[in-house]
Structure 1
Amino acid sequence: MKVVLRQDVAKVGEAGTVQTVSNGYARNYLIPRGMAIVATEGELKVAAHNLGVKERKISRQEDLLRSLSEKIDGQRLTFTAKAGAQGRLYGSITASDVATALAAQISEEIDRRRVVLDDPLRSIGEHTVTVHLVGRLRPQVTVVIEAEATEEVEADGPAGATEETDAAESPAEAPVDIDEATEPTA
């Protein structure tokens, strides 16, 4: 059955488009919830007109945001986070983190909902992230996640030498002369 979508429907289409869906899906789900209407001849004309208006609006927005897209495209963001031995982060880098870092780097406000991430980034390395501005403007950003240097790694070299000197200087662990310890005090 052909329907005209009144709103965006996941895995079906965007609002204003004509889609072919199964009869049961249309009658039992889309139409009763007001998400779609049956595609009659009149509705198809209205949908075509509305689609043209929407495309012109998107085209104007693309022209306005093209310079922002050029600023964003190719940016490289570096994050430092705690990670385990296999390179998995203890936390994650979210779309909000990417948007905040990108906004600081280019001095423009970026809405976190524009950053396209299926799942938060949870591993060390380079990740390509898309920023969906409007229409076909989808600049890509490279996000580099590096592991924080842990104290254990930094302490390996000099730690051995400092432990020996600390032991010699510590009065509790210093060797005690037995003669001095047994002398009577007045």
Structure 2
Amino acid sequence: MEVILLKEVKRLGKRGEVKKVADGYARNYLIPRGLAVPATPAARSRIAEEVAVAKHQEMDEKAKAEALAAKLDKTQLVFKAKVGESGRLYGSITNAHIAEKLSEIVGAEVDKRKVMLEDPIKETGKTKVDVKLHPEVKVTVTVIVEPESA
């Protein structure tokens, strides 16, 4: 039986693809769970339109992310923090702090999960941090941590 996938199914395919599967697999698993529909001509044309709209939206999102990346490229974020005698910070600079500062610069919300910081910054100095704005668009910003003057 041929089915059109409504969602990505592991080891089978992505949304909008037409796949030939066993009748029982389609009737007992894919269709009842809303993962696929039978591949009728009407369903094919409807899914083709939906995929085209989704592709167009994806291209718009990527263009917005690229424009934002151009704006953020070479951006330096300066943080002032209390520092101990050894040069280590009291506390740390996390991806949430960086996302908040980027949101102020951009004027739009930047999700903290998009800031690719493995460990919080705990020392003064410069650190390069990647920000993933889109699955295909990444920008690097410089985070500068300076000691807070007393």
TM over 0.5: yes
Tell me how far apart the structure 2 counterparts of residues 58 and 119 of structure 1 sit (CA, whole Å): 31
Tell me how far apart the structure 2 counterparts of residues 68 and 149 of structure 1 sit (CA, whole Å): 33
Matches within 5 A, 1:36-115: 37=10, 39=11, 43=12, 46-47=13-14, 56=55, 58-115=58-115
Output the TM-score relative to the length of structure 1: 0.50
Tell me how far apart the structure 1 counterparts of residues 59 and 134 of structure 2 sit (CA, whole Å): 9
Q: Helix, strand or coil for the counterpart of 1:110? A: coil
Residues 41-73 of structure 1 show CA distances to partners (whole Å, capped at 9, x for unaligned) of xx2xx34965xx6x9464442123221111112
Extract unaligned runs of 5+ from structure 1: 1-14, 17-35, 151-186
Please identify the structure whose Cα radius of gyration is greater: 1
Report the counterpart of residue 119 of structure 1 in structure 2.
119
Report the counterpart of residue 138 of structure 1 in structure 2.
138
User: Which structure has more helix as a fraction of its residues?
Assistant: 1
Residues 109-164 of structure 1 show CA distances to partners (whole Å, capped at 9, x for unaligned) of 212121111111111000111111112211111110001124xxxxxxxxxxxxxx
Extract unaligned runs of 5+ from structure 2: 1-6, 18-50
CA displacement at 1:85 relative to structure 2: 2.1
Tell me how far apart the structure 1 counterparts of residues 121 and 90 of structure 2 sit (CA, whole Å): 11
CA displacement at 1:108 relative to structure 2: 2.5
- Give the CA RMSD over aligned residues: 2.5
User: Which structure has more strand as a fraction of its residues?
Assistant: 2
Matches within 5 A, 1:141-160: 141-150=141-150
Tell me how far apart the structure 1 counterparts of residues 116 and 95 of structure 2 sit (CA, whole Å): 7
